[in-house]
Amino acid sequence: MHTQVAIIGAGPAGLLLGHLLKAEGIDCVVIERQTPDYVLSRIRAGVLEQVTVGLMERLGLDARLKAEGLIEEGFNLADGERLIRIDVEKFTGKTVWVYGQTEITKDLMDAAPERGLEVIYGAEDVALHDIESDAPSVTFRRDGREERLTARFIAGCDGFHGPSRKAIPASVGREYERVYPFGWLGILADVPPCHDELIYANHERGFALASMRSKTRSRYYIDVPLTEKIEDWSDDRLWDELAVRLGPEAAANMTRGPAIEKSIAPLRSYVFEPMRHGSLLLCGDAAHIVPPTGAKGLNLAASDVHYSAAALCGYFKHADNDAVAAYSGKALARVWKCERFSWSLTKLMHRFPDDGPFERAMQVAELDYIASSDAAQASIAENYVGLPV
């Protein structure tokens, strides 16, 4: 098989890129290790910046998003005594949308056959070859047979554990990583949200987040030590802890219900440079991970797709070699700014095990400054709603 761009990974990044390239008349094939049902079973982010919504609008795949998604004009920081509202629309003139990553993936997946986007599911033993040449290829096994897909470029959209980043020689790549000493214990339940907007809480017992996926489905988190076991957290115990950490106002409006999904996710900040080597371009979690505190993971992948689609279109439609060469620098400039915001919000809202009275006093002072400063709130709002691409 041959195509112009081989895309590894059929999550939202890979599918978004595939649709954008097909819309521009560029041939591409998406290769995915898992089944469609498995891909859709992954419960992930739910806050969408304009860059992500804009790409769905550009593709004409935003109808369900606009019908079922929720517009959020702001969010809240809780310090144990009050809610500090960050009025995103007031300070930026923009809003974010609440619409689950699973729903984005489903919209892209459902539209693929009609739009001629070929997606190969169940591709095992995926390997990349000759990425430093102008004729790279991808091999994989399907139904017990090895197949080879040749291409001019490969886009690695296959997540942190995929083969794409690992194909870049160690002598070329550089990794930056911060592993956090806690994870997020999350519960998804079919209950109405306790508040119209997200609440990030810094409580003496630890961090908590109240968020939603719709008017009838809520997503809550608390931070826990990495030694905690999911089986030790009954639904009742988790709801009780959430009520304490989120504070009496949120607790009074909290509706409890059985968990649809419950899990503990470790937190890390991670960046791999460069995001392009030879004929391979990395997008999304293949190149970077952010802690979920800033709601940047999916949106950062979408901005990578924005840059990579523009670079590949420049190459194929205008013979612009410089567009591909510039991809990594453009993408990383935004990546590092989003990493900074996610890291700083994580530091502000969590109690770290090694923190002492000084670090806690700094958190109190920072939250008090944010509560009293339009300039501080404007900076947070600008980053939260999404920096320009």
Residue 200 domain flag: no
Residue 294: which pLDDT band, with cuts at 50, 70 and 90?
A: confident
Q: Which amino acid is at 297?
A: G
- pLDDT tens-digit profile of 168-194? 999 999 999 999 999 999 999 999 999
Rounded average pLDDT over 122-147: 95
**Residue-level pLDDT at 200:** 97
**Residue-level pLDDT at 43:** 66
| CATH at 290 | 3.50.50.60
The pair of structure tokens assigned to 290 is 């952010």
Q: Which residue(s) pair with 185 in the sheet?
A: 222, 264
Rounded average pLDDT over 40-54: 87
Contacts of 162 (CB under 8 A, 6+ apart): 8, 9, 33, 126, 156, 286
**Residue-level pLDDT at 211:** 94
- pLDDT tens-digit profile of 347-367? 999 999 999 999 999 999 999
Residue 370 domain flag: no
| pTM assigned to the model | 0.93
Residue 44 domain flag: yes
Q: Which domain holds residue 53?
A: 5-73+94-176+268-345
Contacts of 309 (CB under 8 A, 6+ apart): 17, 20, 21, 24
- pLDDT tens-digit profile of 6-26? 999 999 999 999 999 999 999
Residue 372 domain flag: no
**Residue-level pLDDT at 42:** 77
**Residue-level pLDDT at 105:** 95
- pLDDT tens-digit profile of 223-277? 999 999 999 999 999 999 999 999 998 999 999 999 999 999 999 999 999 999 9
The total number of structural domains in the chain stands at 1
**Residue located via tokens 């930026």:** 92
**Residue-level pLDDT at 35:** 92
> What gap in Å lies between CA 248 and CA 239, rounded to an integer?
13
> What gap in Å lies between CA 33 and CA 114, rounded to an integer?
22
Residue 68: which pLDDT band, with cuts at 50, 70 and 90?
A: very high
Write down the mean pLDDT value for the chain: 95
The pair of structure tokens assigned to 271 is 């960046």
Residue 286 domain flag: yes
**Residue-level pLDDT at 131:** 97
Residue 171 domain flag: yes
| 206-212 vs 153-156, strand pairing mode | unpaired
- Examine the pLDDT at 44 and tell me if it is beyond 80: no
Residue 23 domain flag: yes
